[in-house]
């Protein structure tokens, strides 16, 4: 089940407004970057025709921010503003990002920005599988059965904070590595 496209679109407008207003960097924590080069923008959200990607993070990780530096192409009559990506936990939590929002034209363009999801009130937690999902889609499908546009190249970077137990494991690993290095140095 996914949040309605209308609600996700409202969230994406808030993300774009935040980016245009230089809302500042995403919440501190870890980051993961997804290379989006060559991904097609095919059909409306939820269609089996859409390309999807995923990144395995930590169970219970809190998704706190996103930044993007992407080059998009929209084939006429489709618009750059129609090209979107839905970032979600595989269930109800998530948001849609339209990097080219307000660019109601065909053609190509570069779009950059960032948004602090905590400040916008749209941060969310991953489920037990720790999987962050990306569905690339079109807000309006102009060419049924074929791509309306492309994510030519660029990256999406997601900021996240592992749940507390994961922090403990990371701390133990760093402590172990430090002790191992100290032991080797004293030998």
- Class of residue 5 by CB neighbours under 10 A (exposed 0-12, middle 13-18, buried 19+): middle
> Which pLDDT belongs to residue 158?
97
CB distance 34 to 156 below 8 Å = yes
CB distance 22 to 116 below 8 Å = no
Q: Compute the distance between CA of residue 21 and CA of residue 3 in angstroms, rounded to an integer.
A: 26
3 state DSSP class of 152: strand
CB distance 128 to 90 below 8 Å = no
> Which pLDDT belongs to residue 146?
84
Query: Which CATH number among 1.20.1070, 1.10.10, 3.30.530, 2.60.120 corresponds to the domain 5-186?
Result: 2.60.120
- Class of residue 3 by CB neighbours under 10 A (exposed 0-12, middle 13-18, buried 19+): middle
| The two structure tokens encoding residue 125 | 């937690």
Q: Going residue by residue through the chain, which has 187 residues, state the pLDDT in tens, using 9 for 90 and above.
A: 344 554 555 555 555 555 444 444 444 589 999 999 999 999 999 999 999 999 999 999 999 999 999 999 999 999 999 999 999 999 889 999 999 999 999 999 999 999 999 999 999 999 999 999 999 999 998 888 889 999 999 999 999 999 765 455 555 566 666 666 666 666 6
> Which pLDDT belongs to residue 183?
62
How far are the Cα atoms of 48, 84, 89, 177, 183 from residue 13, in angstroms, in the given order? 25, 12, 20, 44, 54
- Identify the DSSP state of 162: -
Q: Compute the distance between CA of residue 83 and CA of residue 41 in angstroms, rounded to an integer.
A: 6
Look at strands 107-116 and 30-35 and give their pairing. unpaired
């Amino acid at each position: 089940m996914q949040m309605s496209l209308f609600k996700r679109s409202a969230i994406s407008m808030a993300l774009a407004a935040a980016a245009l207003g230089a809302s500042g960097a995403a919440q501190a924590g870890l980051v993961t970057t997804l290379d989006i080069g060559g991904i097609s923008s095919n059909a409306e959200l939820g269609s089996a025709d859409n390309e999807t990607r995923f990144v395995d993070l930590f169970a219970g990780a809190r998704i706190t921010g996103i930044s993007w530096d992407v080059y998009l192409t929209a084939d006429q009559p489709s618009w750059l503003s129609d090209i979107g990506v839905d970032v979600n936990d595989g269930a109800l939590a998530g948001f849609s990002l339209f990097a080219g929002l307000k660019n109601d034209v065909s053609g190509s363009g570069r779009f950059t920005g960032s948004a602090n999801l905590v400040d916008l009130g749209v941060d969310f937690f991953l489920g037990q599988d720790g999987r962050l999902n990306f569905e690339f889609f079109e807000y309006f499908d102009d060419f049924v059965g074929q791509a309306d546009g492309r994510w030519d190249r660029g990256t999406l970077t997601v900021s996240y904070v592992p749940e507390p137990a994961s922090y403990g494991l990371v701390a133990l690993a760093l402590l172990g590595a430090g002790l191992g290095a100290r032991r080797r140095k004293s030998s």
